[in-house]
């Protein structure tokens, strides 16, 4: 048995906890997977490194209506893949080497571990580790449906689809959320024939209804979108392709593709940690239960010295949330007498698809329910890109920003943008909400650069019928 001052399970955002403050104390970092976790190796970073060239590949489709005739000669999948993973793998290797070799007080254990108690765990090799403080930052993993053929080598998750040897000619994506939307864009723009099997009535159903409906409509123009459709089985063909059996509104149908991407959500790694057996509280979706200070709960009470952050305990499954929670835990580990709470009031998110979607705060439905519950009133304004100068320049006919505010105070309750660079132009709204700037002051109390795309936000704010 080896004892440490601090033990961390998970080298994603968990890795950021090891600051110089720990230089004179014994720390162990444990990760059974690739060093650096999901975002770096198989998540945000490589996906967005694919999304950017996908935007370039889509340019000819966009540009011709502006009078610029471009053509796409070729997408060099293998070159793109090598460029991305040469960079990503080097960062992972470098981070690993730093932790494994360069810090005398830090031990790196590269094994999956299971909890044996509140602040103890066991490696696969049988070593038991105990710690004064333990941080559970074990992330989440892709969910696989229980259907025949799911283990075929042609069936991928986001963990493997970016490393395919060859770009598939035909790809079936199961799911209609973030990952489905982003990879449909990447592969579709690169020239793959993309079919989406979406169980529900539309894509991105977690977003505001107007945004989800508009995205779904545009998705149907770009990809073979099968709504209300389940995949009931997959079988291998002699030529290396697979046939998926779809069950949709028109009945059953077979679809032959070269690869399948499963994107039906991610589940927290609490089961693999043995969190329930260790007596820790979990939510219905498997997430660890934590209090506002990121302390793990047992029978509803925080366990002293046991912390969690990121996907294993967060309802958000977003890197900026995992990083925020890591900063909170980093502080709290060192200052038990002055704990800080994490701030989840205004968590923004963006889907880097085509078009982009970005959101923060309440959807319109949530705002209406809030208004009813609180006896207040809300107002909504929608500003189309196409009614601003930059939108004219783009000849944009789809993009819009929707802002929802409380009528009598002008407090911004939610913002939802669909269109070019939505992930960037939403940021001033995140800032306003975070710092309590009302819609009227935000719109009129500053210059807005003319004719930048941010005028979409300015005009939406000006159109809000606040008192």
Ligand X SMILES: Cc1cc2nc3c(=O)[nH]c(=O)nc-3n(C[C@H](O)[C@H](O)[C@H](O)COP(=O)(O)OP(=O)(O)OC[C@H]3O[C@@H](n4cnc5c(N)ncnc54)[C@H](O)[C@@H]3O)c2cc1C
Ligand Y SMILES: NC(=O)c1ccc[n+]([C@@H]2O[C@H](COP(=O)([O-])OP(=O)(O)OC[C@H]3O[C@@H](n4cnc5c(N)ncnc54)[C@H](O)[C@@H]3O)[C@@H](O)[C@H]2O)c1
Restricting to residues 147-206, which ones interact with ligand Y according to CB under 6 A? Answer: 174-180, 182, 199-200
Query: Phi/psi of residue 89, each to 5°?
Result: -65, -35
Q: What span, in angstroms and rounded, lies between the C-alpha atoms of 319 and 386?
A: 32
With CB under 5 to 8 Å by kind, the binding choice for 351 among ligand Y, ligand X, none is: ligand Y
Shortest distance, position 90 Cβ to ligand X, whole Å: 17
Shortest distance, position 2 Cβ to ligand Y, whole Å: 34
Shortest distance, position 84 Cβ to ligand X, whole Å: 13
Q: Which is nearer to ligand X, 211 or 318 (CB)?
A: 318
Q: Which is nearer to ligand Y, 179 or 418 (CB)?
A: 179
Cβ atoms 50, 186 nearer than 8 A? yes
CA distances in angstroms from 454 to 218, 382, 386, 424, 429, listed in the order given: 22, 14, 13, 9, 10
State CA 217 to chain mean position distance: 22
| 201 assigned to a ligand binding site | no
Q: Which is nearer to ligand X, 258 or 311 (CB)?
A: 311
47: contact with ligand X by CB under 6 A: yes
User: Which span sits near ligand X by CB under 6 A: 38-46, 231-239, 241-249, 369-377?
Assistant: 38-46
The 356-385 site mask, x for binding ligand X (CB under 6 A), equals ------------------------------
Cβ atoms 37, 92 nearer than 8 A? no
With CB under 5 to 8 Å by kind, the binding choice for 168 among ligand Y, ligand X, none is: none
The H-or-E segment that residue 189 falls in is: helix 178-190
Question: Catalytic annotation on 335?
Answer: no
* Per annotation, catalytic residue among 283, 335, 408, 450: 450
Retrieve residue 309's tokens: 């952050």
Restricting to residues 150-209, which ones interact with ligand X according to CB under 6 A? Answer: 158, 179
**C-alpha distance across the termini of the chain, in Å:** 66
Q: Which is nearer to ligand X, 282 or 459 (CB)?
A: 282
Q: What span, in angstroms and rounded, lies between the C-alpha atoms of 263 and 274?
A: 25
With CB under 5 to 8 Å by kind, the binding choice for 139 among ligand Y, ligand X, none is: ligand X
The 9-28 site mask, x for binding ligand X (CB under 6 A), equals xxxxxx--------------
145: contact with ligand Y by CB under 6 A: yes
| 357 conformational bin, left if phi > 0, alpha if psi -120 to 50, beta if neither | beta
Q: Where in 251-354 does DSSP place strands (E)?
A: 251-257, 259-262, 266-268, 295-298, 301-308, 349-351
Shortest distance, position 264 Cβ to ligand Y, whole Å: 4
With CB under 5 to 8 Å by kind, the binding choice for 13 among ligand Y, ligand X, none is: ligand X
Residue at shortest CB range from ligand Y: 177
Shortest distance, position 239 Cβ to ligand Y, whole Å: 27
Listed residue (82, 47, 299) closest to 157, CA to CA: 47
| Other beta carbons within 10 Å of 70 | 12
Shortest distance, position 394 Cβ to ligand X, whole Å: 24
| 180 assigned to a ligand binding site | yes
User: Which span sits near ligand Y by CB under 6 A: 160-168, 184-192, 264-272, 283-291?
Assistant: 264-272
Restricting to residues 328-387, which ones interact with ligand Y according to CB under 6 A? Answer: 349-352
Listed residue (273, 274, 266) closest to 318, CA to CA: 266
Shortest distance, position 432 Cβ to ligand Y, whole Å: 21
Restricting to residues 256-285, which ones interact with ligand X according to CB under 6 A? Answer: 269, 272-273
User: Pick from 134, 137, 171, 288: which binds ligand X (CB under 6 A)?
Assistant: 137
CB neighbours of 210 closer than 8 A, spacing ≥ 6?
364, 382, 400, 402, 416
| 177 assigned to a ligand binding site | yes
Retrieve residue 455's tokens: 């005028």
Tokens 């809300």, residue located: 378
Cβ atoms 203, 165 nearer than 8 A? no
Q: What is the dihedral of CA 43, 44, 45, 48, to 10 degrees?
A: 120
User: Pick from 17, 27, 29, 43: which binds ligand X (CB under 6 A)?
Assistant: 43
Q: Is the dihedral of CA 131, 134, 139, 143 positive or negative?
A: positive
309: contact with ligand Y by CB under 6 A: no
| 243 conformational bin, left if phi > 0, alpha if psi -120 to 50, beta if neither | beta
Which residues of this chain interact with ligand X, rule CB under 6 A?
9-14, 30-33, 37-39, 43-44, 47-48, 112-113, 137-139, 158, 179, 269, 272-273, 310-312, 317-320, 322
Q: Which residues are annotated as a binding site for FAD?
A: 48, 311
Q: Which residues are annotated as a binding site?
A: 48, 175-182, 265, 311
Report the catalytic residues.
Answer: 450
Which residues of this chain interact with ligand Y, rule CB under 6 A?
145, 174-180, 182, 199-200, 263-266, 317-318, 349-352
């Amino acid at each position: 048995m080896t004892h440490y001052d601090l033990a961390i399970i998970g080298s994603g955002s968990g890795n950021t906890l090891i600051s110089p403050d720990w230089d004179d104390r014994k720390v162990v970092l444990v990760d059974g997977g690739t060093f650096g976790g999901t975002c770096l190796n198989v998540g945000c970073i490589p996906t967005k490194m694919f999304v950017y060239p996908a935007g370039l590949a889509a340019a000819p489709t966009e540009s011709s209506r502006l009078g610029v005739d471009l053509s796409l000669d070729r997408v060099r999948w293998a070159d793109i893949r090598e460029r991305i993973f040469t960079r990503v793998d080097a960062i992972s290797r470098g981070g690993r080497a730093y932790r494994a070799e360069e810090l005398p007080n830090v031990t790196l254990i590269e094994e999956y571990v299971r909890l044996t108690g509140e602040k103890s765990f066991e490696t696969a090799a049988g070593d038991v580790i105990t710690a004064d403080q333990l941080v559970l930052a074990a992330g989440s993993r892709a969910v696989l449906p229980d259907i025949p053929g799911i283990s075929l080598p042609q069936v991928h998750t986001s963990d493997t689809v970016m490393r395919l040897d060859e770009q598939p000619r035909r790809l079936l994506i199961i799911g209609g959320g973030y990952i489905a939307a982003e990879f449909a864009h990447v592969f579709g723009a690169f020239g793959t024939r993309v079919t989406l099997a979406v169980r529900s009535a539309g894509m991105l159903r977690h977003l505001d209804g107007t945004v989800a409906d508009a995205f779904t409509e545009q998705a149907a123009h770009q990809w073979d979108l099968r709504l209300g459709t389940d995949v009931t089985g997959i079988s291998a063909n002699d030529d290396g392709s697979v046939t998926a059996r779809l069950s949709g509104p028109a009945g059953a149908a077979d679809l032959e593709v070269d690869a399948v991407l499963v994107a039906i959500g991610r589940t927290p790694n609490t089961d693999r940690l043995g969190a329930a057996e260790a007596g820790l509280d979990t939510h219905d979706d498997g997430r660890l239960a934590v209090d506002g200070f990121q302390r793990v709960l047992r029978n509803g009470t925080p366990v002293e010295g046991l912390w969690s952050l990121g996907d294993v305990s967060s309802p958000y499954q977003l890197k900026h949330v995992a990083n925020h929670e890591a900063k909170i835990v980093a502080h709290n580990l060192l200052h038990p007498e002055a704990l800080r709470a994490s701030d989840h009031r205004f968590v923004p998110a963006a889907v880097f698809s085509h078009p982009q979607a970005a959101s923060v705060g309440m959807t319109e439905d949530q705002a209406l329910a809030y208004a009813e519950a609180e006896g207040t009133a809300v107002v909504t304004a929608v500003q189309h890109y196409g009614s601003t100068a930059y939108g004219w320049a783009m000849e944009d006919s789809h993009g819009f920003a929707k802002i929802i505010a409380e009528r009598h105070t002008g407090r911004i309750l939610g913002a939802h943008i669909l269109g070019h660079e939505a992930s960037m132009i939403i940021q001033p709204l995140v800032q306003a909400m975070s710092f309590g700037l009302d819609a009227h002051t935000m719109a009129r109390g500053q210059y807005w650069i003319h004719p930048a795309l941010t005028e979409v936000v300015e005009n939406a704010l000006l159109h809000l019928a606040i008192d």
